[in-house]
Amino acid sequence: MGSNSIKTYQGISRPYDNLLRRGQEMVIYPGADPAGGNPIENDRGVYGAGTLAPLDGGAVAPVTVKSEQSFDSIWVDKTIRSRNWSPKSRGFLLDGETGYAELSDVYVSGTIAASAINIGTGGWHVDSSGNMWWGVSETFAGATIRIDFSGIVNFTSGTFSGTLSAASGTLGTITSATITGGSITGMTITGGTIRTANSSTRLELSGGANNLTVYTSGIARVVLSGDEVQWNNSSGSGVATISASSGGATLLLYNSDTTNGNILIRVGSSGSLSLGEFTEGSYFSIDGLLGYNKASKSIIPSSDNAITLGTTSPGNLRWADIRSVLINGSDIGFSSGWKIREWPAKKTDIGKPDAWFRENANLGLQILDEEEKLIIVIHKNGNIYCNEVKSLSDLT
């Protein structure tokens, strides 16, 4: 007999393993390198594409993995990869030593369990606690765009096409066509404009000038600015302004020119009212010329001998009836031009102070005609002086 080698259960083709399993739980090595076409050498020998090797490392003949061939289990010491694999670009790679995998597209119908997720260098990240963030930061704490596992959100800016609803919170800059809420409590809105409508008729609070403006058809009709309220006409021109005096004790209503000469109404803190320029000591004043003095209970002019009741021009307007207990004055005039005047006062003395008349025109009364000619003097000595005295029967 020729010499024949002894065949053992490990020395035959597709040998049995130490559990007497044959053809099961075999290792598939990646075989030839797709780029160079050379077989890959490892610690178990050289294997080409589709080479199978037993778990114990015994030598076997190459076996080609055919299309649609099935295996119960595949054990990999190194890697499995597709022939077209390019790192992080195409194909797939499974690293048996580290568990690292590269796949072009993955569909998972079940649950993904991982300690962290990182997509892209500046992309999306999730840590093992469920915190997620975006950007180049390697940690959740260092990210500016993030959502923690409890629902706290930190974004640098945002645009909401729908409704933003929150029970409470702190907001920086909000850009929105409409902000609707039950109440806004304990917050400050700065640096912007708040308006009830974008244009036309609206109420607007400007953040820069701090003005509150009421617009009608796009025209500013009422403007509240500082300590003033201004009313404008339909063309936007100012017609009146209410302002507090510099001391704050008086409320002033101006016309379009807010200078002292254009005050229309003045209201004092004591309740005094002035129509026009204010007259000192007046409780009620009209145009600064005629006022009511509360202390003396008298209607007074702004200056002596300056006000006339009624007028000859224009219109010759007269008072119908003046009722008084006492009338004090220099002359009592009549429509005919005749006058009664203190004696011996002259026309040029009219307007002098009362004290002057009590001292210099206290001797009686004189009657003068329309030409200022003296007709009668009724003297304080009891005599009547005239050119001629006749009886009433002589009147024709």
DSSP state of 298: E
Residue 162 CA from chain centroid, whole number? 21
* Residue 205 bridge partners (DSSP): 194, 212
pLDDT at 284: 62
Q: Which amino acid is at 334?
A: F
pLDDT at 304: 76
Report the C-alpha gap between 81 and 65 in whole angstroms. 14
Which residues, including other chains, have CB under 8 Å from residue 112's CB and lie 6 or more apart? none
pLDDT at 265: 73
Q: Residue 171 has which token pair?
A: 């907001």
pTM: 0.36
Residue 300 three-state SS: strand
pLDDT at 176: 61
Which residues, including other chains, have CB under 8 Å from residue 364's CB and lie 6 or more apart? 342, 343, 377, 378, 379, 380
Report the C-alpha gap between 132 and 155 in whole angstroms. 12
Q: Are 74 and 85 in contact (CB under 8 A)?
A: no
Burial class (CB in 10 A: 0-12, 13-18, 19+), 263: buried
The domain segmentation of the chain, as residue ranges, is 117-154, 320-396
Residue 356 three-state SS: helix
Angle 102-103-104 (CA atoms, 0-180°, nearest 5)? 130
Report the C-alpha gap between 274 and 302 in whole angstroms. 12
**Residue ranges of the chain whose pLDDT lies below 70:** 1-66, 169-191, 246-249, 254, 256-264, 268-289
pLDDT at 175: 62
pLDDT at 36: 40
pLDDT at 32: 38
Q: Are 92 and 103 in contact (CB under 8 A)?
A: yes
**Four-point Cα dihedral 106, 109, 111, 117, nearest 10:** 20
Torsion over CA: 39, 42, 45, 51 (sign)? negative
Q: How do residues 82-91 score in pLDDT, each as one tens digit?
A: 888 898 889 9
pLDDT at 127: 92
Q: In terms of residues, how long is the chain? A: 396
pLDDT at 226: 80
* Residue 93 bridge partners (DSSP): 81, 102
* Residue 251 bridge partners (DSSP): 244, 267
